[in-house]
Amino acid sequence: MSDNNKNNNNNNHGSPLFSGLCTLMERMSETNSTTGRKRHFERYLYDYRSHYGYDFYNAMRLLLPQLDYRKYNVKEMKLAKVYIEALGLGRNSVDAQDLLKFRQPGSSSSKYAKATGDFAGVAFNKIQDRSTVQKPTQTIDDVNALLDELSAPEDQDEKPNAVNIRVFKKVINLYTAFEQKWLIRIILKDLKVGISDASLFSVYHPQAREMYAVCSNLEKVCKDLQDPFVKLNKSTITLFHPFKPQLGHKDVPKNVSNVSHEGKFYIEEKLDGDRMQMHYDAVTKKFKWFTRKSNDYTQYYGETPDPGKLSGHIIDNLKANSLVLDGEMMTYDPKLDVFLPFGGLRTAALVVVFDIVYCNGTPLLQYSLQQRILFLNNVIKENRGWIHLLPRETKTTFQDILEALDRAISLRQEGLVIKNPGSIYEPGTRNSTWIKLKPEYINSLNDTCDLLVIGAKYGSGKHRGGRLSQFTCAIRDDNSSDDDPKFMTFCTLGTGYTVDELEVFKKKFKELEPYNPKRQPEWLKHPEKSDENPEVVVDYRRNVVVEVKASEIVWGNMYGAGTTLRFPRFMSFREDKTWKDIMTWTEMNEAKREGTLGGKKRGLTQKDFTGQTKRRKITTSRKSKQLVFSQQGVDTRNIKTKTSLFLDISFYVVSGDESTNKVQLETMIKENGGKFLQTSHGVKYVIAGLQKQDLVPLAPKYMLHTTEETKASFREEMDQWGDLYIQDATEQSLRDVMSRMSNITFNETRQRSLANEIHERYFNNQDMPGMMFLGVKAYLDDIHQDDNEISLNEITMDMNWVNAQKSHERMILASKQIRFRGGQIVDRIESGITHVIMDPNNLDRLQQLTNESKGLDLLPRFVTTDWIDACVRNKTFIDEQRFEPKIPHSAKTSMSTANF
């Protein structure tokens, strides 16, 4: 299109009616496919450009309210009260109560039942009965002016809520009920139309999504990319506009070439802080600070060289006219010279810089990492305690990576990041040119996963009674699209959080919807007849993401995923993540197959990085051998899979029995998602599974041959008399079990084993009463325990002696607390220990004990006695990470240098 035509289209056409945009959103919400929704938007966009010009920003910010900078500070309950006031409803009237209790099934009459849980839908029904506005008159520009007024700061002289009431009285007098429904959804920033920003961007302009990733500015995207036929130069970073940072890949690469350049790669320490980008202009002496999610944190770290903010302490260390730096914000204790656990005071901040993406007016995205590091070292001068440059080592071999991981364990570091020196910076991507490695990925006791909280149950007892205290967590079904996501329930979380963290849950769950198994949300997959149902549902868009630790993934038909976590435990809230970042169904199955969640995992090998294996020479005979007809497998080409009952299970079918022949068995296996081999399981196992329509646990009666490994597995799943821990007993099974029992004298080992059985069977989702430390086997580093053997004449009762006695008493108390609550205490570091416990005031042996533990198959957690106190105080098993003893940063630096 020519510039003249484009200019003509942009002039003197006014603004389209808002009702037309509402009709578009209504059509998209009623369309089932993303393709169909995009087609509706494409038609509207074409018509808009034909009649009103190419400036689509005012309409786009209504279609993508979640990307609009305006904040209204209005949620459903406040809107309900405003509408009750604006409509003149009696507070106790049926209509007012329907608005206030819009989430409760049955609170609305059957006429409005379909809108239950949807405030905009309930409000529409109430407004429709009263509205005198029949003809739409308001334009898109009018709506934006109204929203500007709503988002403006309140006048301190006005009564609370006065602006909202004034605005909504105007809304009631000027907008139809249909328009108000969509206006409410825009204000709540939840349109419920089932289409993502990425899909709308792809229709608007081919470069829109790419540009938004580097500027996070909807207005800039709409203004710069008005004409879909004009392609701009590659989008790049600009000063004072946030961008989506590049992220590290989580998985070990199959080929090290992705992270090496000319045979070399960088190894950096992985930090556990808050990802932060800093923008700086030397002429105006202005700073801007943005988080990974483009949130503006400038108020915390300083916009000007304020001596009370971080900006004032680092301005003299910036040797460039303009800069955009990428790094990690850490909480730093200058007295102890350590980084504190993430979540500390933002005012005690230190920024660790590891990349530069803009310098002296020039974007550096297309420069290699090696070149960017040279720029960074030339323009940043370190200032201890305020701004640090992240050190890195240039290495070449797989052995270097193993040694660096070993060193990371010794230095109590979070992990490593391996980077390709020749890689460019790619905003908004997660690719294999940056690889994250953690020691826990290799030989730790447990892995963690990020899950979405979608429901909750009320607790009981003194401390949890009447509170939401058990939380239903879900994984994402990656077979669904981002425009119409689906989630599968996965586990119930009932332990690991403090009383304060329960209060955080409470704040996040202010707006809840009662759970009805027969009327589940469309986005949720949960068995209707499950025994593990939440009492209330939390909308996935609230993004309540938690990090969860567990021992392993096991079968669980009470959840939508068909599996669940064994002994799940809350670790932390993940404010930096959304529902898009949680574990997917595919990732869960991969973790289950590979055993990467819980249990001992194999160590890294060079093959993990190189993808190289010795090629075995394959020889074939000229004449192939054939099976006799009765042993040939069934032709599976025309067999359709009906269920996933036997997913990821392979069977060896030797023959059938008198009722079911070999071909029929193989057909059944294939139809139910399994695989069969011409090489070993019993007929009874297949038939039993099909009859029950669930996987039947393996048992000796199904086995033709049992390996030592399988025997060991049986010992974990059933007792010595054959009673399965995870299968309900029947009269006959009890008779069989009891007939094999004899009088047993229980010893401590047996009692502990019995307690573990009870824990697993009845308390999988919560702490076993009185046995909080049942799984703990701890070594307490009580270096003063031998002091009591010294005679009084040999003791010098000075402050050193007093402090030693206090330390010894802390250790004695910690030992008694652990034993009393089911734990074990050992007198040395040995295989099988789970924790090393130290006095927080005496960490002299931390490095020595760390090195001693590295030789163990599984790494124990190092904690101070403060962890024991916190667990006892909160009556739950608290995440250990926040109580880990720290090695001073200066000591780390000297030790790291000495090792290289």
What is the DSSP track for 321-337? SEEEEEEEEEEEETTTT
613 domain-assigned: no
Q: Which of 286, 285, 289, 284 is nearest to 299 (CA)?
A: 289
Q: Does residue 390 share a domain with residue 527?
A: no
Which ranges in 424-542 belong to alpha helices (H)?
A: 440-443, 461-464, 499-508
From CA 817, how far away is CA 837, in angstroms rounded? 12
736 domain-assigned: no
303 domain-assigned: yes
DSSP 768: P
Report the DSSP beta bridge partners of residue 472: 455, 492
DSSP 510: S
- Final residue of a domain: which of 698, 717, 736? 717
Q: Does residue 466 share a domain with residue 421?
A: no
480 domain-assigned: yes
H/E stretch holding 553 reads strand 552-555
Q: Which of 880, 853, 886, 881 is nearest to 868 (CA)?
A: 880
630 domain-assigned: no
What the block records as the tokens of 796 is: 């010098």
DSSP-derived secondary structure for 85-150 = HHHT--TTSHHHHHHHTTTSTTSS-GGGGGGTT-HHHHHHHHHHTT----S---BHHHHHHHHHHH
Q: Which of 546, 605, 552, 554 is nearest to 573 (CA)?
A: 546
The pLDDT assigned to 74 comes to 85
Q: Is 30 helix (H, G, I), strand (E, B) or coil?
A: helix
Helix axes 76-87, 162-174, angle to 10 degrees: 60
The pLDDT assigned to 885 comes to 87
| Alpha carbon 863 to chain centroid, angstroms | 25
Residues of the chain predicted below pLDDT 70: 1-13, 103-117, 156-160, 251-258, 341-347, 439-447, 460-466, 594-638, 648, 652, 654-659, 676-698, 701-702, 704, 740, 742-747, 764-765, 783-798, 888-900
From CA 246, how far away is CA 425, in angstroms rounded? 7
Contact assessment for residue 776 and residue 834, using Cβ atoms and an 8 Å cutoff: yes
Tally of CB atoms within 10 A around 99: 25
What CATH number does the domain containing 315 carry?
3.30.470.30
Report the DSSP beta bridge partners of residue 876: none
- Final residue of a domain: which of 403, 438, 473? 438
Q: Does residue 567 share a domain with residue 465?
A: yes
- The letter for the amino acid at 410 is S
623 domain-assigned: no
From CA 222, how far away is CA 207, in angstroms rounded? 11
What CATH number does the domain containing 134 carry?
1.10.3260.10
**Helices (H) and strands (E) in the chain — how many of each?**
31, 28
Report the DSSP beta bridge partners of residue 777: 824
Q: Does residue 390 share a domain with residue 303?
A: yes
Burial of 612 (0-12, 13-18, 19+ CB in 10 A): exposed
- Final residue of a domain: which of 165, 188, 211? 188
Q: Does residue 687 share a domain with residue 835?
A: no
Q: Which of 473, 466, 479, 423 is nearest to 450 (CA)?
A: 473
pLDDT digits (tens, 9 = 90+) for 54-81: 999 999 999 999 999 898 888 888 899 8
Q: Does residue 472 share a domain with residue 423?
A: no
Rg from Cα positions in the chain: 32
How many distinct structural domains can be found in the chain?
A: 6
764 domain-assigned: no
DSSP-derived secondary structure for 615-654 = PPPP---SS-----GGGSPP--TTPPP---TTTT-EEE--
Domain that holds residue 200: 3-68+195-224
391 domain-assigned: yes
End-to-end CA distance of the chain: 62
What the block records as the tokens of 248 is: 């590290």
Burial of 213 (0-12, 13-18, 19+ CB in 10 A): buried
Handedness of CA 603, 604, 606, 607 (dihedral sign): positive
From CA 209, how far away is CA 223, in angstroms rounded? 14
pLDDT digits (tens, 9 = 90+) for 238-252: 999 999 999 988 766
H/E stretch holding 537 reads strand 536-537
Strand spans (E) along 257-386 = 265-270, 274-281, 286-291, 322-333, 338-339, 349-359, 362-363
From CA 513, how far away is CA 535, in angstroms rounded? 9
Q: Does residue 285 share a domain with residue 174?
A: no
Report the DSSP beta bridge partners of residue 351: 329, 387
Q: Does residue 162 share a domain with residue 14?
A: no
Place of tokens 């910076």: 425
Q: Does residue 341 share a domain with residue 280?
A: yes
H/E stretch holding 778 reads strand 777-780
From CA 21, how far away is CA 40, in angstroms rounded? 11
Q: Does residue 361 share a domain with residue 321?
A: yes
The 10 Å CB-count burial string (b at 16+, else e) for 712-736 is eebeeebbeeebbeeeeeeeeeeee
What CATH number does the domain containing 877 carry?
3.40.50.10190
What the block records as the tokens of 777 is: 């086997």
Q: Does residue 644 share a domain with residue 535?
A: no
DSSP 706: -
Q: Does residue 573 share a domain with residue 518?
A: yes
